[in-house]
């Protein structure tokens, strides 16, 4: 049976020692009273909920899955409903929500930490409150006063939950093709008709009402993505006083049988003249939905960090416990029948890969969360603009780099267990199956890569990328004089200049042939991901070196992990640069009928 311990020490390190979050909060009026003690106390409580309530339901959720009854209702696995009730009772849904609607008004960073731990504990379960929080953010940003009044406090408290309904059988990536329609009714509402698929948390028994945010076309809509509107369609109609009215004409047609995240209900949702209200302006639904999508992309990053961390913890425990073979350099525990497998270099490679990806992801994702807090709350326009640019640039990297790495990491975790890793009861294969979806949903990793290279980098002539580059350069300049930092600064500087050069090269080629963007995008995103991680591992190494004499062995471990990252994972950049430079010719030359 797997285990999970919230990694509080590393979380504290990243928040307080690496990012100095309290200092940043002191500059944000909304959070100026959020001090270290408050942060740590909430994080500790969140860790307890994750490890004690959500985690024990992870395997049973996978085994039981969700069940759709003949009446279209869906029951979640044993214990899910009770855990959700405790989550609501604990006030967790409201953590970073607007106090005007009953929220606690705490930073996004805290919500990010909460979701790391919830996802280590139980990804399928965490998707119920996760989607709901996205719906809250979307309505908070784009809802009408009436929608806010009717829905927000219930979403904030967790009494109701939410979904996002985008995909249809014939369109996922290409939302311009969507066919679901909406017609104005005589009383100012809209009647929505169509079929949506892959709707996570679409129907379930956790909450008394579900608010679906649905993309659909109005009758007079332009073709393509510019003719899509967004509607709020509740499962039960809501009376003006907020009480529940009639059942709306939206129902779960079936549940998908999936590779993983069995505990989450992935629904085919049928809208059959369901009544809803328009969110935001007509035909501008996609930009409203993107508020939710961007939050969801960071959320998917947190799923990946959570899975990476829990897979790491379990494979370390197994590697210390499992006795098999002797060390190549002679017995390390001669009294035992064999050495624990952690003595073997390649087992350590697998463990350290997971560890480095977990620590790198935590530093990176928490930093982005802090920038979101800054973007939304800083009094200075320029600071808001700069951090908004950073968040825009980095969101696809959080999504794609973390999810690819989580799939690698959970697979390494499985591999450490040998044959036992393939057996369900040990829990490791579930992490691999659960992780696999994160590379697909909320925009496939190819789409993220195109978004990064095409839109965010080349689309503004590299301006946003240069902002990030300046942050890296400043660090290199500051620390380059320290002799003990050379081992980190040199490869970081080398990579930074290679990324700059490659970006220019691709930009030149792309002007002649747009397929060059498509051909380079995936390796390019991973390359920039490594630049980000190299920057953070160098920063973390600096703190570790500064605390070298500390009796707290945490700093030594951090230094070992940073060195491993630079020696063994960063070399991937050599491949990525070659693959990204190799261009589109060998991809596009073969006529389709020869495949």
Residues with active-site annotation: 442
60 secondary structure, DSSP code: H
Q: Please, which of residues 177-196 interact with its own copies by CB under 8 A?
A: 177
Cβ neighbours around 480 below 10 Å, total: 15
- Considering CB under 8 A, how many residues would be counted as binding its own copies? 99
Minimum CB distance to its own copies, residue 311 (Å): 13
Count Cβ atoms within 10 A of the Cβ of residue 350 and give its class: 0-12 exposed, 13-18 middle, 19 or more buried: buried
Site for its own copies in 192-231 (CB under 8 A): 197-198
Nearer to its own copies, 356 or 472 (CB): 356
Q: Give whole-number Cα distances, 282 to 184, 229, 231, 393, 413, in Å.
A: 11, 5, 10, 28, 48
User: Which range binds its own copies by CB under 8 A, 70-78, 429-437, 458-466, 542-550?
Assistant: 429-437
Q: Which two tokens stand for residue 367?
A: 């930093």
Exposed / middle / buried, residue 269 (Cβ in 10 Å: 0-12, 13-18, 19+): buried
In the numeric block, which tokens belong to residue 549? Answer: 């004499």
Residue 335: Cβ-neighbour burial (10 angstroms; 0-12, 13-18, 19+): exposed
In the complex with its own copies, which residue's Cβ is closer, 18 or 347?
347
Smallest separation, CB 536 to its own copies (Å): 17
For residue 233, the surrounding DSSP H or E stretch is strand 229-234
284-323 binders of its own copies (CB under 8 A): 316, 319-320, 323
Q: Are strands 160-165 and 74-75 parallel, antiparallel or unpaired?
A: unpaired
CA distance 572 to 100: 48
Which residue's structure tokens are 């909304």? 30
Q: Residue 3: CB partners within 8 Å, gap ≥ 6? A: 313, 314, 317
Choose between 104 and 415: whose C-beta lies nearer to its own copies: 415
- Enumerate residues 556-575 that contact its own copies by CB under 8 A: 556-557, 560-561, 563-564, 566-568, 571-575
Q: How far is the CB of 568 from its own copies (least distance, A)?
A: 6
Q: Is 431 in the site for its own copies (CB under 8 A)?
A: no
Site for its own copies in 350-379 (CB under 8 A): 351-352, 355
**423/474 with CB nearer its own copies:** 423
Distance CA 308, CA 529 (A): 16
Q: Where are the alpha helices (DSSP H) in 547-571?
A: 554-564
What residues between 477 and 536 interact with its own copies by CB under 8 A? Answer: 513-515, 517-519, 521-522
* Residue ranges in 318-337 that form contacts with its own copies under rule CB under 8 A: 319-320, 323-325, 327-329, 337
Residue span 432-471 as binding mask against its own copies, x where in contact by CB under 8 A, dash where not = xx--xx-xxx--xxx--xx---------------------
Quick check: helix, strand or coil at residue 105?
Answer: coil
Among the listed residues 29, 222, 418, 459, the single contact to its own copies using CB under 8 A: 418
- Alpha-helical regions (H) of 451-485: 463-479
CB of 401 to its own copies, least distance (A): 16
Q: Is 68 in the site for its own copies (CB under 8 A)?
A: no
Rounded distance between C-alpha atoms, residue 429 and residue 431, angstroms: 5
Restricting to residues 84-113, name those near its own copies by CB under 8 A: none
What gap in Å lies between CA 123 and CA 474, rounded to an integer? 38
Cβ at position 128, least distance to its own copies in Å: 18
In the complex, what is the shortest distance from the CB of residue 446 to its own copies, in angstroms, rounded to a whole number? 4
| CA atoms of 324 and 260, how far apart (whole Å) | 31
Site for its own copies in 22-51 (CB under 8 A): none
Residue with tokens 């990243």: 14
- The C-alpha atoms of residue 274 and residue 183 are separated, in whole angstroms, by 10
Give the nearest distance from C-beta 507 to its own copies in angstroms: 14
> d(Cα 441, Cα 283) in Å, to the nearest integer?
24
Please report how close the Cβ of residue 434 comes to its own copies at its closest, in angstroms: 11
Question: By C-beta, is 223 or 483 nearer to its own copies?
Answer: 223
Report the nearest approach of its own copies to the CB of residue 328 (Å).
4
Q: Per CB under 8 A, which of residues 156..175 are in contact with its own copies? A: 167, 170-174
Which residue among 419, 483, 549, 551 contacts its own copies (CB under 8 A)? Answer: 419
- Residue 135 or residue 342: which is nearer to its own copies going by CB? 342
Instruction: Name which position in 260, 263, 285, 427 contacts its own copies (CB under 8 A).
Output: 260
């Amino acid at each position: 049976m797997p285990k999970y311990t919230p990694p509080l020490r590393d979380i504290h390190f990243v928040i307080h020692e690496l990012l100095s979050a309290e200092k940043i909060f002191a500059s944000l009026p909304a959070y100026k009273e959020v001090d270290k003690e408050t942060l740590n106390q909430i994080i500790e409580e969140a860790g307890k909920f994750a490890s004690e309530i959500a985690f024990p339901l992870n395997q049973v959720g996978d085994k039981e899955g969700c069940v759709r009854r003949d009446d279209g209702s869906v029951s979640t696995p044993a214990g899910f409903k009770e855990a959700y009730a405790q989550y609501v009772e604990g006030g967790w849904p409201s953590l970073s929500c607007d106090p005007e609607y009953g929220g606690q008004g705490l930073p996004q960073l805290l919500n990010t930490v909460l979701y790391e731990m919830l996802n280590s504990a139980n990804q399928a379960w965490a998707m119920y409150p996760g989607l709901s929080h996205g719906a809250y953010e979307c309505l908070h940003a784009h809802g009408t006063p009436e929608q806010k009044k009717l829905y927000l406090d219930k979403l904030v408290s967790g009494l109701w939950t939410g979904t996002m309904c985008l995909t249809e059988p014939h369109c996922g990536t290409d939302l311009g093709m969507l066919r679901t329609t909406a017609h104005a009714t005589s009383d100012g509402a809209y009647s929505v008709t169509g079929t949506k698929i892959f709707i996570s948390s679409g129907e379930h028994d956790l909450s008394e009402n579900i608010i679906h945010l649905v993309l659909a076309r109005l009758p007079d809509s332009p073709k393509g993505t510019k003719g899509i509107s967004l509607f709020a369609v509740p499962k039960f109609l809501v009376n003006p006083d907020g009480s529940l009215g009639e059942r709306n004409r939206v129902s779960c047609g079936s549940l998908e049988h999936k590779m993983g995240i069995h505990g989450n209900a992935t629904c085919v949702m049928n809208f059959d003249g369901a009544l809803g209200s328009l969110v935001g302006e007509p035909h501008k639904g996609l930009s409203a939905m993107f508020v939710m999508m961007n939050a969801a992309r960071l959320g998917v990053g947190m799923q990946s960090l959570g899975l990476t961390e829990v897979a790491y913890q379990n494979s370390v425990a197994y590697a210390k416990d499992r006795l098999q073979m002797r060390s190549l350099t002679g017995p390390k525990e001669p009294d035992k029948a064999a050495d624990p497998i952690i003595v073997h270099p390649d087992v350590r490679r697998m463990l350290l890969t997971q560890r480095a990806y977990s620590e790198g992801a935590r530093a990176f994702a928490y930093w982005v969360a802090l920038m979101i807090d800054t973007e939304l709350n800083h009094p200075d326009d320029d600071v808001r603009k700069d951090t908004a640019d950073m968040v825009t640039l980095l969101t696809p990297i959080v999504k794609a780099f973390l999810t690819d790495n989580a799939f690698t990491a959970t697979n390494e975790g499985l591999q450490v267990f040998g044959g036992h890793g393939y057996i369900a009861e040990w829990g490791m294969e579930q992490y691999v199956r659960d992780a696999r979806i994160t590379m697909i949903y909320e925009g496939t990793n190819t789409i993220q890569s195109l978004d990064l290279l095409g839109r965010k980098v080349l689309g503004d002539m590299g301006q946003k990328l240069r902002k990030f580059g300046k942050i890296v350069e400043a660090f290199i300049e500051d620390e380059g004089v320290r002799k003990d930092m050379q081992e980190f600064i040199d490869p970081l500087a080398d990579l930074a200049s290679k990324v700059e050069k490659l970006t220019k090269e691709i930009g030149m080629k792309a002007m002649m042939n747009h397929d060059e963007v498509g051909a380079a995008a995936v390796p390019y995103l991973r390359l920039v991901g490594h630049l980000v991680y190299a920057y953070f591992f160098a920063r973390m190494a600096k703190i570790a070196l500064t605390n070298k004499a500390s009796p707290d062995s945490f700093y030594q471990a951090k230094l070992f992990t940073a060195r491993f990252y630079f020696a063994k994972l960063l070399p991937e950049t050599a491949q990525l640069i070659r693959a990204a430079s190799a261009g589109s010719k060998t991809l596009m030359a073969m006529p389709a009928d020869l495949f």
